[in-house]
Amino acid sequence: MRAYPGEVDSKPTEIAREGLEAWRKGDFETIEEILDPNVEWHATEPGEWDCHGRDDVMQTLRERHEQGFAKGDLQFLEGGEHAVIVVAHPSEIGGPDWPSETATVMQFRNERVVSMQDYRTEAEAIAAVEQR
């Protein structure tokens, strides 16, 4: 698989864009609909930031929305046939205690997000996708 930077129109990208746009607006029902009930969200390092299941992911998304992170710019990159890479810049919203860049690889199955893996940078996420 190859990651292709830039604007993409694949089905996973469309679903990710719609879901994250709903999150920006505080429409948690819509984002919840695109998450598989057993979705996993893994932080860059295993630990307390990991989320197991839709309810856990939704709790984190609600917290991040309350903290203002929904206002941040997002970039969507092709991550292969069933994946999307979403690049964010948390420090722009959360300040210097947050990373300047993160990238999350969202894996899809049957038009639902089944896993999300955070990486420290866009380059790390692209390298991970290319190794699959």
Q: How far apart are CA 77 and CA 4, in angstroms?
A: 6
pLDDT at 131: 85
Burial 43-70 (b: 16+ CB within 10 A, else e): bbeeeeeebeebeebbeebeebbeeebb
The predicted-structure confidence for 8-50, as pLDDT tens digits, reads as follows 445 898 999 999 999 999 999 999 999 999 999 999 988 888 9
pLDDT at 51: 96
**% of the chain exceeding 70 in pLDDT:** 92
pLDDT at 10: 59
Query: Which sequence spans correspond to the domains of the chain?
Result: 11-130
Residue from 21, 40, 44, 39 nearest 31 by CA: 21
Which residues, including other chains, have CB under 8 Å from residue 18's CB and lie 6 or more apart?
Answer: 30, 34
Q: How far apart are CA 119 and CA 25, in angstroms?
A: 25
Cβ atoms of 87 and 77 closer than 8 Å: yes
pLDDT at 6: 40
72 — pLDDT class (breaks 50, 70, 90): confident
Q: What is the mean pLDDT of residues 73-77?
A: 92
Adjacent-strand bridge partners of 78: 84
**% of the chain exceeding 90 in pLDDT:** 66
93 — pLDDT class (breaks 50, 70, 90): confident
pTM over 0.85: yes
Q: How far apart are CA 88 and CA 71, in angstroms?
A: 11
pLDDT at 41: 97
* Residues present in the chain in total: 132
* Res. 54: pLDDT tops 90: yes
Cβ atoms of 121 and 49 closer than 8 Å: no
Domain 11-130, CATH class in plain words: alpha beta
Direct distance between the N- and C-terminal alpha carbons of the chain, in angstroms, rounded to an integer: 6
